[in-house]
Amino acid sequence: MASQITLNVDGMSCGHCSGTVQRTLEEINGISGVSVDLKGKKATFQVDNESLVDTAVKEVTDAGYKASKN
Interface with Cu ion by CB under 5 A: which residues? 13-14, 16-17
Query: Long-range contacts: 23-27, Cβ < 8 Å, 24+?
Result: 24/59, 24/60, 24/63, 25/56, 25/59, 25/60, 27/59
Q: How far is the CB of 55 from Cu ion (least distance, A)?
A: 23
Coil, helix or strand for 68?
A: strand
* Residue closer to Cu ion, measured from CB, 16 or 29: 16
Smallest distance from Cu ion to CB 51, Å: 29
Of 46 and 63, which CB lies nearer to Cu ion in the complex structure? 63
